[in-house]
Chains A and B, each alone.
Chain A
């Protein structure tokens, strides 16, 4: 069972690597590419901590093989901030709205929110909750995560953000 040479683009940079067929994308990213931002949570496709972007789709990287990503454009949490370190609108929202506590789910949440806002730049609260339904957080109760995404949407759209009353 020979290894396969794959070429792909990760966070805008060309990469090539030899992978075993059975290597899951999350293990490839973390262990071969040293991109440890995406987390392994449940390892069963439920929690979304391993979410990365593949060719414009939010994908659970624990449920796809690295060989399947040959030729793909991948974005991980390491590629979300600007080259100079400026936080993205979503990252800033999570910081300003205290959208995290332990932080374990946060890379997946931010990758998912990033794609959600690209597809729907002005989501309602229920659209946000439906849109992040594949990402579990065991700390926050989601209230501040929803606010963080609302903050990001307002920033992206240049509209005023008003914090919802408790």
Chain B
């Protein structure tokens, strides 16, 4: 302590170091994974480095191409051959057996086009050759093409093929669900936050405790609880039938309704807590002043209280929006086939089809959407701030 006082520069250096280390750690754990994700979505070493001879030959000399591809495949070990065949099979069915068989027998096949076609008739079809030459580059855009649905047509122009834009549509659906969840969360959360910030001590502590208990409970537990509550013979349906409201159970789960209810519940605390914080900073005296100047309670709320609480709404809504964009397990357990969000497909590519490039490309798509939306939000904020200043 005394040391720091006598040497002000030393303390500044210490403070600098104190900031530098967390910044470095942050960069490492935050930027590094994003960087590796982006490189994974473009990376093509599995194919790009395995067709060196083939890439170097003249595309108009079929026999040279045949000899080159046999030489390229012949030097691969089983693991590399398996990898090449898996990646090409993602482009066209049948590539797996074609590459595996050819690679294993490479040294016995006559290195001409006729020899290859005699070994397997598929080598006689130009489509297979086109796919190899299109995908043998050092980096690849094919994952992004698939993610966007863009394809080269017969004339070589990029266009969205009918029915191939599935991930774009899933992205649209993801945004739609996210918007719905954000709106519902804010509508439900605002009165609760208001009660905590302005209610009596007792009300505030009861509401806050309920919110916090649900906040501290595992997402999986809360989601499963909703499955139990909402299912066909679950608590809600049975109660409604017992009360005579319904004559037979209605479908509350495995559809958009179930997904929205569960997601809203999971995300509610993230909207309420920032709103409480902001609402608590709004001086009560302002509302009192407004009332004493003749405004009614509704006008006071709308013109004095509500505009000041909007900052909390923006923070809470933004948090919920960003969090729900990446939701996976909750809609998977409570939604139907048409309520699955983009994260579901990312997990599927990672775990089931082992297409990590595609998973990375879809993750980049999700990340880019968040960045664009955040920029739009900032822009809106700046525009409204400017307008307020000119008013």
Is B a genuine binding partner of A? no
> Which positions in A face B, CB cutoff 8 Å?
none
